[in-house]
């Protein structure tokens, strides 16, 4: 079913991956996105270079922030990490579902501790990475050694994340229907692997267009290079918004 969104609704579902090597270039890009209503995603490249300060600056500029650090460690370490992240005031962060239930529950515990101690004004959404969107079935079966289809592996992780109390998962838009069937419509599907028609895949293996992702039920579309590496990032975002606001 084609879902026609208002411009505001469409922008509120887009998370632009600020995959930049330093604060200056990230803020220059953010400047082109200000006022559009989109989220920004701060991942490893930017956070390891520019840390807490870049998060605060982006918050000051009014962006909603998904901190994409994909924690994967023993439960006690993840609990502490989650508490520190919650203190930063981001709106969403993630862990790897492959860390298991105890690790995911520990992330929720860390968030709860930050809120109870008054260190965080609000609890960020916590979601779990299922199978990276760069992973093909060949890689999953042949290299990683997990049998079955990618969709089966993704749904297994999604169910685990749901039972651990997380609010959603990161997956490809191709798996969203199965995730929602297993975990319910309200369980968030945050989907990278978005490529406008004709765009280069790069290292992504499981992709759809923005329109296909929204029609398939994705709640948030994570988009990096198709916007960030475009000659005019603001224009690239506009053309994606146009795709989502037209029937
Ligand atoms: O499974 C995953 C999890 C995270 N990502 C991140 O999303 C963006 C996608 O960038 P593109 O340039 O649009 O490919 C990037 O920051 C990844 O770290 C993902 O792609 N897949």
At 247 the pLDDT is: 74
Provide the H-helix boundaries in 61-203. 75-88, 101-116, 137-138, 150-163, 176-183
Each residue's pLDDT tens digit, 186-231? 999 999 999 999 999 999 999 999 999 999 999 999 999 999 999 9
Each residue's pLDDT tens digit, 146-167? 999 999 999 999 999 999 999 9
Q: What is the pTM of this model?
A: 0.98
At 1 the pLDDT is: 79
Question: What residues does ligand 1 touch, defined as CB less than 6 Å away?
Answer: 17, 19, 43, 68, 129, 132-133, 170, 192, 202, 204, 222-226
What is the bridge-based pairing of β-strands 39-43 and 14-17? parallel
At 89 the pLDDT is: 98
Tell me the C-alpha to C-alpha distance, in Å, between residue 204 and each of 103, 133, 172, 200, 225: 27, 6, 10, 9, 11
Q: Is 231 annotated as a binding residue?
A: no
Which protein residue's CA is at the shortest distance from atom 5 of ligand 1? Answer: 192
At 71 the pLDDT is: 98
Atom of ligand 1 nearest to the CA of 203: 14
């Amino acid at each position: 079913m084609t879902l026609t969104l208002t411009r505001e609704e469409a922008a509120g579902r887009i998370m632009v991956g600020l995959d930049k090597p330093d604060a200056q270039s990230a803020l220059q890009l953010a400047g082109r996105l200000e006022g559009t209503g989109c989220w920004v995603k701060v991942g490893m490249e930017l956070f390891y270079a520019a840390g807490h300060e870049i998060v605060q600056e982006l918050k000051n500029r009014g962006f909603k922030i998904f901190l994409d650090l994909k924690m994967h460690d023993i439960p006690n370490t993840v609990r502490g990490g989650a508490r520190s992240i919650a203190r930063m005031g981001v709106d969403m962060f993630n862990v790897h579902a492959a860390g298991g239930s105890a690790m995911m529950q520990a992330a929720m515990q860390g968030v709860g501790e930050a809120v109870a101690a008054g260190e965080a004004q609000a609890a960020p959404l916590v979601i779990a990475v299922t199978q990276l969107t760069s992973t093909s079935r060949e890689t999953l079966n042949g290299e990683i050694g997990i049998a079955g289809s990618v969709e089966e592996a993704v749904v297994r992780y999604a169910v685990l994340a749901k039972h651990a109390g997380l609010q959603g998962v990161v997956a490809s838009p191709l798996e969203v229907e199965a995730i929602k069937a297993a975990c319910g419509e309200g369980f968030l599907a945050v989907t990278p692997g978005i490529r406008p028609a004709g765009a280069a895949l790069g290292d992504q293996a499981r992709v759809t267009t923005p329109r296909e992702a929204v029609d398939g039920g994705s709640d948030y579309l994570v988009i990096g290079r198709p916007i960030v590496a475009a000659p005019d990032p603001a224009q690239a975002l506009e053309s994606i918004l146009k795709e989502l606001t037209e029937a």
